[in-house]
Amino acid sequence: MLAVLVLIAHTVALISVPMRFGPERPPASEATRAFVTRSIPPPPRPAEPPPAALPEAVPVPKPARKKPEQDLSNTEPVQVPKQRPTDYAPDVPSPSGLPAEATAKTETPAASAPEAVAGPGEAPVAAAAVPETTKIGVVRLPDSIRLQYKAVGAKDGKSYYGNSELSWQNKGTEYAAVLEVHASFPASLFVKPRILTSEGQLTETGLAPQRFADKSRSERAAHFQRDKGKVTFSANTADAPWVAGVQDRMSFFLQLAGMMAGNPAEFMPGSSITLYTVGPTQADNWTFLVEAEETITISIGNNILTRKLSRAPRSDFDQKVEIWFAPSLDYLPVKSRITDQNGDFVEQSLENVIRP
């Protein structure tokens, strides 16, 4: 009963009190205010400049039609033999008066080779720069003769002996020169003899080589093609330019003999002789200094007056070359000495003269 009475009392109280506690509600006109919005337009964009006038169109040429590529599927590859660092075999002494070129650097070019003339169906050979050479004047070449030399030397601290023979044939309009080198002790030093050959024409300016060959284990040759303005090599190395007065490593010393015999006063001590010289794989500039006259004793035991020419090494692996020419023997070489940087050397001295 008590619970029922409490429930009735609470009900009466809730009905009799206001529905809301707190301050009085404001009038309906002020209860809700309208929220007004407005849009602000962006500032006007500046006027864009008128587009520049386009240049007139340039017609583009049509590309040339490509030639059909050659089918190389059945072409055999070219075999290029490996080259030695020097043009002379390392175990063969250089012959009398013929210095070996050991990785020599070509000197600064000073003159240009003449423009090559290409044959029918051949591409022209580009003109290459060659060193300036000594002007060739009067040349007086010796008659046919054979010179035999005795050789001594040292290699890797061991002494050896040998002999060589220079055969010079003056045929009037043509020439042939052959130098053959043999070893006599120890016999195992050489497997085969060393043979150098030069063949060509005789002209007013001396020797004009057409072919040079160096043969030991195998033969390597250079071909002088004057009409095409180039020198080609059997060793598959790059062609060298042909120039007037060019020599090979065999004809060089015979040409020197002819130049000194033709005008001895021009080659006094202190002067030099430079000739563009071709080897079996490349061409280079050879310069020799003319030294004072010297009386020497050759192998046959005679004292003979000579004019000495020498070439100093031009690189770390180059050789010193000394040649003694005899005026009484048409300035042919009677003695030579070639010295390597490590002290190895070969010296050859005239032992016998054979005239036809």
Q: Concatenate the DSSP letters of all residues of 235-286 into one string.
A: T-PPPEE--TT-EETTHHHHHHHHHHHH-GGGS-TT-EEEEEEE-SS-EEEE
Domain that holds residue 285: 111-117+126-354
Q: Hey, what amino acid is at 292?
A: A
Q: Structure pTM?
A: 0.64
Res 313: pLDDT: 84
Res 90: pLDDT: 34
Which residue has better confidence, 199 or 60? 199
Place of tokens 């497997």: 191
* 53 located within any domain: no
> End-to-end distance of the chain based on CA atoms, in angstroms?
173
- Cis (ω within 30 of 0) for the bond into 124? no
Q: How confident is the model at residue 318 (pLDDT cuts 50, 70, 90)?
A: confident
* 34 located within any domain: no
Burial class (CB in 10 A: 0-12, 13-18, 19+), 224: buried
Residue 234 has pLDDT above 70, yes or no: yes
Q: What are phi and psi of 254, to 5 degrees?
A: -70, -35
Q: Hey, what amino acid is at 42?
A: P
Res 42: pLDDT: 66
* 11 located within any domain: no
* 171 located within any domain: yes
* 41 located within any domain: no
CB distance 94 to 86 below 8 Å: no
Return the structure tokens found at 51. 């587009």
* 80 located within any domain: no
Nearest by Cα to 273 from 240, 310, 300? 310
Of the given ranges (82-96, 228-242, 265-279, 314-328), which has the lowest mean pLDDT? 82-96
For the domain that residue 323 is a member of, what is the CATH number?
Answer: 2.50.20
* 85 located within any domain: no
Strand segments (E) across the chain: 111-112, 129-130, 145-155, 158-170, 174-185, 194-203, 206-215, 219-225, 230-233, 240-241, 247-248, 272-278, 283-297, 303-311, 320-326, 332-339, 345-354
At 24-59, the pLDDT tens digits run 555 554 445 555 556 666 666 655 555 555 444 445
Nearest by Cα to 249 from 205, 211, 204, 216? 211
Distance of CA 292 to the CA centre of its chain: 35
Q: How confident is the model at residue 105 (pLDDT cuts 50, 70, 90)?
A: very low
Domain count, the chain: 1
Whole-angstrom Cα distance, residue 305 to residue 190? 33
* 263 located within any domain: yes
At 146-190, the pLDDT tens digits run 999 998 888 888 888 899 999 999 999 999 999 998 877 665 555
The percent of the chain in helix, strand and coil, each rounded to the nearest 5, is 10, 35, 50
